[in-house]
Amino acid sequence: MAGRKKCVIMGTGSYLPEKVLTNFDLEKMVDTSDEWIVARSGIRERRLAADGQITSDLGVPAVRVALEDAGVAAEEIDMLIMTTITPDMIFPSTSCVVQSKLGLPNAACCDLNAACTGCIYSIEMGRHLIEGGNYKRVLVVGAEKLSAITDWEDRATCVLFGDGAGAMVLGPADDDKGIVDIYLGANGEWGDLLFMPAGGTLNPASHETVDGRMHYMKMLGREVFKHAVIEMARSVEIVLERNGLTIDDIDCLIPHQANIRIIKALAKKIRIPVEKVFVNLETRGNMSAAALFVALDEANKSGFVKKGDRVILVGFGAGLTWGAGLIDW
């Protein structure tokens, strides 16, 4: 790193669609109850995109807020990395669609898929572009319209997910604040715990795939839960250890927002007081790749994260993938 500038998060933004779907609404759709959903997940309501409002439409307003927060003009962006499991289309990339809707004339564009860990993966890619010196302003965006791939007849999954988007602008730091370290991991052997079977080359769209409800998310929730706690805890411990820190040095933990029981089990395992842990899933649900972006923006704007804080982001998702990032805010 000698001679290289650190990468800093210059600004954050998020966008949530207006429509609210409560647990009581879900009670009318599937055999479930507000009591079960709150007890098993901590979620009370989530936002849903309007008909015709697609993933890029969620990303665009989040980017506008992040650009304004960073004080950066659209023309200054030289790279846009978009992370999503619900792209507008398989191709072209949703990043290119966002670029055309916003007007980012100087940005190269690509999509990145690491499911719910997409935020941490895309920050890691973006920060190395900045630290390498060839890129000055990198936009990273997470946007999801999970309602489009949710099986609204499957009570085991449909109660968990929501739609939304978040964004951040990365640039070279003026001081020693910024992204200190990021650890990433994956194990593809656990791919069948959380997946969407059809729509790719394995099962191209056909009458059979539609009849078999194969264009929806499938999940073995209990197995995912177990791996999530273990791998997130391990990710935090790796980042702490290789930077000579203990959990007591951390002011704020921002975990992926999937389930309050996963977050509590993680906090207990790594021994961080719950008051230091940011949670918004009660009103957001799990927004996959958008979740950590939105959480970081809300933690930032609400003052939960303050200048000078030492922050850890930690996530996991389909793949399975996982990772943790240490940031001097």
Task: Please report which residue ranges of the chain form alpha helices under DSSP H.
Answer: 23-27, 34-41, 55-70, 94-102, 118-132, 155-158, 207-211, 221-242, 260-270, 281-284, 291-302
Q: Which is nearer to ligand ACO, 191 or 273 (CB)?
A: 191
Q: Are 14 and 166 in contact (CB under 8 A)?
A: yes
Element (H, E) at 19: strand 19-22
**What separation in angstroms does the CA of 112 have from each of 11, 18, 52, 95, 134?**
21, 26, 23, 9, 20
Least Cβ distance, residue 57 to ligand ACO (angstroms):
21
Task: Please report which residue ranges of 86-173 form alpha helices under DSSP H.
Answer: 94-102, 118-132, 155-158
Q: Are 288 and 115 in contact (CB under 8 A)?
A: yes
Q: Which is nearer to ligand ACO, 190 or 245 (CB)?
A: 190
First to last CA, the chain: 19
Angle at the Cα of 49 from the Cα atoms of 47 and 50, rounded to 5 degrees: 125
Q: Are 38 and 44 in contact (CB under 8 A)?
A: yes
Least Cβ distance, residue 263 to ligand ACO (angstroms):
10
Q: Which is nearer to ligand ACO, 40 or 269 (CB)?
A: 40
Least Cβ distance, residue 244 to ligand ACO (angstroms):
31
Q: Which is nearer to ligand ACO, 99 or 286 (CB)?
A: 286
Residues lying near ligand ACO in the complex (CB under 6 A) are found at: 32, 36-37, 40-41, 115-116, 155-156, 159, 194, 219, 221-222, 224-225, 228, 258-259, 262, 286, 288, 317-318
Q: What is the DSSP letter of 321?
A: E
Catalytic residue IDs: 116, 256, 286
Q: Which is nearer to ligand ACO, 107 or 277 (CB)?
A: 277
Least Cβ distance, residue 159 to ligand ACO (angstroms):
4
Least Cβ distance, residue 238 to ligand ACO (angstroms):
20
